[in-house]
Structure 1
Amino acid sequence: MFYLASKIAWFFATPSNLLASLVLLGIVLGMTKRCRRLGQGIALSGALALLAFGLLPVSSALLKPLEERFPAFRDDGRPVDGIILLGGAVEASDSLSRGSLAANESAERVLDTLTLARRYPKARILISGGGGTVFGDGAAEAPVIAAYLEGVGIDPARIVVEDRSRTTAENATFTRALIDPAKGERWLLVTSAWHMPRAMGVFRKAGLDVVAYPVDYRTGAGEDALRPFAFVSDGLRRLDVAAKEWAGLVAYYAAGKTPALLPAP
């Protein structure tokens, strides 16, 4: 129920959808005599907001605190016993229909996991990512990624597939059921930097002491992080990502799925 409600609510609350809907609503109201002025005002406000949020670095300012919450991983020479890769980097249905890996803008999750797998040849690799849509089940992502890793030379015996999860909370719960790290074992958690605070929170809640390995940064360092966008679509896409993640943090904390509103190192 939580999954279904969150997906439906977010469809209507997504900033780009919401602003475009305001423009459309304003146009419709502007075609009526009684609400012509109101409609024109709503349409104009929505259009200006689309331009402002699409071109100004508002979304970067929202995303940067999330991406910098957990520092980049630094190899200190200690052994790594396992690597946990969270799904969200591959379009499973497209990959299966094309017979080739179809990665999205979070492809670094898979690429960095491959690098780690070769750097730590004895580490186990758990891939967590099921499939799901609001009105039915989709293709699971984890088996697709597992097949890709095997195809580029990773020993299948090292790979554990968790293909039931549809949310970050389920990633943690189902992963906990599959692995039982011994005391002192070191497991890396690979996910997007902007998603790492929420991921670390739910894994801690599930009783898994993991080490953050953030990848897939969307903002630059220093002043570059707050430069305007050249295309409205780029700014709106980043705004959708930032707004969804902040909303997820609030919802997870309110539901007791994470021990802190903004988990920290």
Structure 2
Amino acid sequence: MFFYISKLLWFFTAPSNLLVMLVILGGVLLRTRFARLARWLALGGGIVLFAIGILPVSSLLLPLENRFPPPAADMPPPDGIIVLGGGIDSVVSTARDHAAMTDAGERQLEGAALALRYPNAKLVFTGGPNPFWAGGKSEAHYAVAQWASLGIAPERVIAESASLNTYENAILTHGLVEPKPGERWLLVTSAFHMPRAIGIFRKAGFPVEAYPVDYRTEGSLSHLRPMREVSDGLRRFDLAMREWVGLAGYYFTGKTDALFPGP
């Protein structure tokens, strides 16, 4: 239920969606007695929409991405590698019967690279089907197939194929692999998503080490550089706001024990 409520609320509160709805509302009200308000809604919504898309407000992603530094190149071999879903579009993959990666596909590629670098480490993929696409196969199904094409034997992969969100990723993966005290497990996910993911895994009793990938910002330059495309700026801003809202939501519902988990 938490999954469906969160998706529904985010659709109506995502900044770009909300601003577009304000502009549309302004247009609808123009020929009513609220015409003055309508003009303000349409004009204000349009200006803010453009400003968010062009100005470097997407740098809100920066503190999320910088929260957990990548591990040292000469780190000791891990006992296990966990790759979070999100790097595969299960709807397109099901329709085409071929693993189709999303813009977070670096999770997949880096997971495969780590698996080849550390052949003795356990390899876990956690990601279920799209619940809004009846009959669709899980992300895990296509992750295993894609990794097999890269030289990773399917029998080496521990696939968790029922989870619908990061909370379920953590709970179900913990129960599946039953990590032992002293083991080192790497968690591979997008850098902006790492604080929330680490907090959830910690709360689930699964201590993991951050292995951030899929960076979207350019470091300190993100505070200064305007966006070249409005669509890209809006996408980054929505992404940042979803994570900040998600951090608060997961904290206040008891799914993490810190508002902004850190190293």
User: How would you bin the TM-score normalised by the shorter chain?
Assistant: over 0.9
In structure 2, what is the Cα distance between the partners aligned to 1:155 and 1:113?
14
Of 70, 81, 84, the residue aligned with 2:68 is 70
1:44 correspondence with 2:43: yes
Name the counterpart of 2:94. 96
In structure 1, what is the Cα distance between the partners aligned to 2:31 and 2:149?
58
Name the counterpart of 1:257. 255
Consecutive unaligned residues in structure 2, runs of 5 or more: none
Of 231, 234, 247, the residue aligned with 2:245 is 247
Name the counterpart of 2:229. 231
Name the counterpart of 2:150. 152
Name the counterpart of 2:116. 118
Report the 3-state secondary structure (helix = DSSP H, G, I; strand = E; otherwise coil) of the residue aligned with 1:133.
coil
In structure 2, what is the Cα distance between the partners aligned to 1:22 and 1:50?
10
Name the counterpart of 1:58. 57
What count of residue pairs does the alignment treat as equivalent? 263
Of 197, 205, 212, the residue aligned with 2:195 is 197
Report the 3-state secondary structure (helix = DSSP H, G, I; strand = E; otherwise coil) of the residue aligned with 1:89.
coil
Q: Quote the offset at 1:83 in angstroms.
A: 0.5
Amino acid at match of 1:40: R
In structure 2, what is the Cα distance between the partners aligned to 1:105 and 1:245?
16
Amino acid at match of 1:47: G
Moved over 4 A (4+): 134-138
Name the counterpart of 2:34. 35
Q: Quote the offset at 1:137 in angstroms.
A: 7.0
Q: CA RMSD in A?
A: 1.4
Q: Quote the offset at 1:181 in angstroms.
A: 1.8
Which range moved further: 222-231 or 16-25?
222-231
Q: Quote the offset at 1:136 in angstroms.
A: 5.7
Q: Quote the offset at 1:188 in angstroms.
A: 0.4
Report the 3-state secondary structure (helix = DSSP H, G, I; strand = E; otherwise coil) of the residue aligned with 1:84.
strand
Which range moved further: 48-57 or 176-185?
176-185
Report the 3-state secondary structure (helix = DSSP H, G, I; strand = E; otherwise coil) of the residue aligned with 1:75.
coil
Name the counterpart of 2:22. 22
Name the counterpart of 1:106. 104
**TM-score, normalization by structure 1:** 0.95
In structure 2, what is the Cα distance between the partners aligned to 1:231 and 1:106?
19
**TM-score, normalization by structure 2:** 0.96
Q: 1:201 to 1:137 in 2, by over 3 A?
A: farther
In structure 2, what is the Cα distance between the partners aligned to 1:166 and 1:248?
15
Is the 1:123–1:158 Cα contact (8 Å) retained in structure 2?
A: no
Amino acid at match of 1:211: E
Consecutive unaligned residues in structure 1, runs of 5 or more: none
> Taking every aligned residue pair, what percent have the same amino acid on both sides?
52
In structure 2, what is the Cα distance between the partners aligned to 1:118 and 1:82?
12
